[in-house]
Amino acid sequence: MLKKAVDYGYHLLKKPITVNEGISITEIYIDPYWKKHKDEGISEKLIIELVKLLDGKRSELGKRYDDWVYFAEEPIFYDDKAYCLVWCLEDRKNYLEVIDCYRESNYEKPQKRIKYESK
């Protein structure tokens, strides 16, 4: 199968994170697919912060395809907002690839609205 060339974002972590009980991650590759969610406030900077929140966590077993395992981590809370992070790991590699990231507002608590009445 011929793969389409994709311009991935790249980020080298200053401090490695550990995911799934012992897999040390030093690099993040970000698929540009997330850009369709820009109007939800998604950015590469936010995605990197969400990935850092995976540090020390064990994700539910994802789906395996050849040398890759895919995960959908939700909800991940950042600044009182809930997100879904779709990511994958390649066997015996020290990088993580983010496939998509989007808001999951159904996990958020409704904001209290203050009614102002005019006199």
- Examine residue 15 and state whether it is found in any structural domain, yes or no: yes
**What Cα–Cα distance (Å) separates residue 27 from each residue in 11, 24, 81, 116?**
6, 9, 25, 49
Domain tally, the chain: 1
Q: Band of the pLDDT at 25, cuts 50, 70, 90?
A: very high
Q: Which domain holds residue 39?
A: 9-107
Q: Band of the pLDDT at 2, cuts 50, 70, 90?
A: very low
- Examine residue 4 and state whether it is found in any structural domain, yes or no: no
Q: Band of the pLDDT at 59, cuts 50, 70, 90?
A: confident
Give the domain CATH number at 94: 3.30.2310
Helices (H) then strands (E): counts for the chain: 1, 6
C-beta atoms surrounding 89 within 10 Å? 21
Average pLDDT, the chain: 88
